[in-house]
């Protein structure tokens, strides 16, 4: 289980040029402030990716489970590593990065 604030996340510009990242509640008083981001030159373009981060992590974790269930087609005799293990490694790396872990997966 992840320790991050679950989605959805919402990024909105404040009056002073900073951006607030919030976790919206059903009612206004249930909305939680996750953090404040200082003005950055590309924040408007990065906002959709930041807002989608929790869902992207969920999809990566789900995808890893699917890939792990696939058959292995490695050829250890010729040193060939199949796509299954390549995708497992890539998914573990991105999941660990999202969770702040230094493990290679």
The number of angstroms, rounded, from the C-alpha of 55 to the middle of its chain's C-alpha atoms is: 7
How far apart are alpha carbons 23 and 47 in whole angstroms?
14
First to last CA, the chain: 16
Does this model's pTM top 0.85? My answer is no
pLDDT at 34: 76
Query: Is 24 inside a domain boundary?
Result: yes
Q: Is 5 domain-assigned?
A: no
pLDDT 10s digits, 13-37:
777 777 788 887 766 667 777 777 7
Domain of 49 in residue numbering reads as 10-99
Tokens for 5? Answer: 């604030």
For residue 41, being part of any structural domain is answered with yes
Sheet of 32-37: strands edge to edge?
10-13, 19-23, 32-37
Residues, the chain: 105
Q: What does the pLDDT look like over 43-76, one tens digit per residue?
A: 777 778 888 888 999 999 999 999 999 888 876 6
Q: How many domains does the chain divide into?
A: 1
């Amino acid at each position: 289980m992840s320790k991050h604030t679950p989605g959805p996340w919402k990024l909105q510009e404040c009056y002073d040029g900073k951006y607030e990242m919030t976790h919206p509640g059903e009612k206004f008083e249930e909305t939680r402030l996750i953090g404040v981001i200082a003005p950055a030159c590309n924040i408007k373009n990065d906002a959709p990716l930041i807002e989608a981060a929790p869902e992207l992590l969920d999809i990566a974790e789900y995808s890893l489970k699917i890939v792990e269930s696939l058959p292995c087609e490695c050829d250890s005799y010729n040193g060939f590593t199949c796509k299954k293990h390549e995708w497992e490694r890539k998914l573990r790396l991105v999941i660990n990065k999202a969770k702040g872990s230094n493990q290679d997966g």
